[in-house]
Structure 1
Amino acid sequence: MTRKGLRLSLVTRWSALVGTLLALGILIALGLDHFFPEHPVLVFSVCLLAIVPIAIITIRTQIQPILSLFRALEGTVASYRDGDFSFSLHWPHNDELADLIAAHNALGQVLREQRLGLVQRELLLDTMVQNTPVAMLLVTDFAASAGTIVYANVAARQLLSEGRKLEGHQLRAVLETATPALREALARGGDGLFTAGDAEEEEVYHLARSSFTLNGRRHELLLLRHLTTELRRQEVQTWKKVIRVISHELNNSLAPLTSLAHSGAELVRRGQTERLPQILQTIGERTRHLETFILGYARFAKLPTPRLEARPWGVFVDRLADQVQFRLVGELPQEPAWIDAAQMEQALLNLLKNAHESGSAPEDVELQVRRVQEALRIDVLDRGTGMSDAVLTNALVPFYSTKRSGTGLGLALAREIAEAHGGRITLSNRDGGGLAVTMILPHPP
């Protein structure tokens, strides 16, 4: 901010004031000395009586506006501290105090603009939070489903209180009218899915929670997302894909079987039985392929809960080596494997067979088992063609396959078995070519 007109600094103004008072005192002293030359004490006393009151009145007149300005500054600073930035000040003189007031007003303008921006963002955020379909609850002093609800959006109020306000209520009291499944999910701790309702009215929700400290107090944010519609849509899409895959495989098997059966009957009718063994062998091969295909789907759909038992790694790996070729890398862990041997054998056989089918040389297919921190890591490595980014993204999805005759169940079944053991599977391309399939399992205590 710039100010027009003549600028007089505080030093100039006060110097002029003091100089004027001194000049006035000298003039009065000279005049009195002219009339009373024989009485210097009288002259000095009269000068003091005349100049001191004038100086006091003049200085007070000059200082009073400055003191008022300081009080106004104190008041605006207190308003800023309370979050009110609507005040500004004015100073009529063009001096250093005017520069201070200009800087003060500029600061107030910046704070007002920042406050307006914050208010707009808070309004936008509140609108988004209030209208999101995810139910949101912010609870303070959360412990064992206790605590006070300090924030709840529209979805949370509709889900838990038929639209009534929840702020200020105890979470325990609110949960008394909620479904038992929700109470169990909260008591269980952590994130996860839970189901409410029965049969056709069954509803699926996902519970996510996070803790943080706000103003020295522990808070917990609870997010409840309704997944029923989305899951049903995905379920329909999955069933459509399953039906397409099964129909395709059945047609590929049944059409040749029908043709071969017709050819066999025609040969019998003609008495030409020399080709019957070949036809029957082909029918048997196609039948066995179809049986293997159906069993693969049944095994994936009916995977039982794993029965964990201690198994020596040496014996387990030897059984794998009897069925598929691979090279063992490194030493096996001394501790036994705590697994369902049958399921884990099936999973690793699928991974090792995939490694052989990747285009890798058989001697480059490797298996490595090691303990990493508090987990067990199993790597199946090959030097095949690897996978593109799109294939890596979808490789673990059931029924996804890039093989012409693949069912898309090998990796999906391995992932299902790993997750049933409390672990997970990851895929990554190796430097120099090939794929690394890593299974991470929790290590028993």
Structure 2
Amino acid sequence: MFSTLCAIGLVIGLFWWLAPMAITDLGWPLISGALLLSVIISLLVSRYLTRDLARSLSALEVGLLNFKDNDFSVHIPLQGGGQLRALASLFNESAEVLRRERQYIYQRELLLDKVIQSSPNVMLLLDDQQRVIYANDAARHLFNQGIRIEGLKLTELLKGLSEELAIALNNPKGGLFTLACETEDSEDETWHLSRGRFLLNGQYHHLILLKQMTRELNRQEVAVWKKVIRIISHELNNSVAPIASMVKSGRKITAPLEDPKLKLIFDTIEDRTSHLSQFIFNYARFAKLPLPKKSRVDWARLTEQLAQHYGFTLEGELPPESGYFDVIQIEQVLLNLLKNAHESGSTVDEISLRITTSVLSDGVSGVIIEVKDAGTGMSPEVLTQALLPFYSTKHSGTGLGLALCREIIEAHDGRISLHNRADAGLMVKLWLPNDERD
């Protein structure tokens, strides 16, 4: 505005200066030339005076175009007068704030994606046409063996899967459902399905969450058993302790009588109370199993210690890397399994132990321990209940041996399973993680 006013003033000044010449011989041609010259001079002056404004506006235009493309890294120079410098400074401050906000959002989204991808729960995000627009790693492994499934329709994912899973996913309501085991030796899996629906960018999206509940339900079941055991053990101990004390007092009082019948009675009561105390101790040990204290364990030394109690044949080579577990608890598990193998009627040569390394699909390294015998095996009904507390096929069994093994293995974040062998006998398979991520 200032430069324009200067140019207009220059033109008017030249006009009044040259006006008296209009009546002379020079006339209007001179005036016209003077006016043209004044216009050219005013344009040059205007361009000189507005060069900073043009540069600032050009830089601001480039910066705004970068903002439009979500690029907040631009920084315009501070130049020109006070208002131009203030405008450029305000633009740079705004760009810095937007950069920080974008970096914060990016890091938060990266962390959220890492958590979702690491989750064992299956997560699917579908659009209104039932097409997958997002899936985590657990979903890719469940539906497509780890291969990306984004862009596929839900109907395409369900092809080749179990009928129970297809029915559950096609059901508009969530809830618990059970997937039948693929083999007779495996355990049925319980899953929980939940659904959600929300509006995003003007379109409805559908969120499907699948959670494996088998281990959680098993833990809840064992927790109930443990509570029952603690209550029963407490009540029995309150009765057994005074009975044992009264037997000792009765022996002292009746000692001068030297009656063999009284001695037989006291011996019988003492024997049964001792047996009941040991019985209570075994159950209490199951109910109060301590957390594992993991450490590095040499496989050769462990197998040598096991062989001192129960004979077996070691199949294959031992893993080169040491194991990582509570050696006392795992030794107790293996001794119990080897004891069961010997009680199955198998000879020492028919009982074997095999330890191999294993890597899961998610990259977790571990070991597989297999204890095999050549006995009669187990019926399908027994296989489904053998790991439950109090279940036993032995006449004098407490039903805690395999249940205790299961509790110890799952406390190590491992798994235990029972399998009838193809020819004859039973195989107990253990999987234990071999890393130090607790």
Instruction: State TM-score, norm by structure 2.
Output: 0.48
Instruction: State TM-score, norm by structure 1.
Output: 0.47
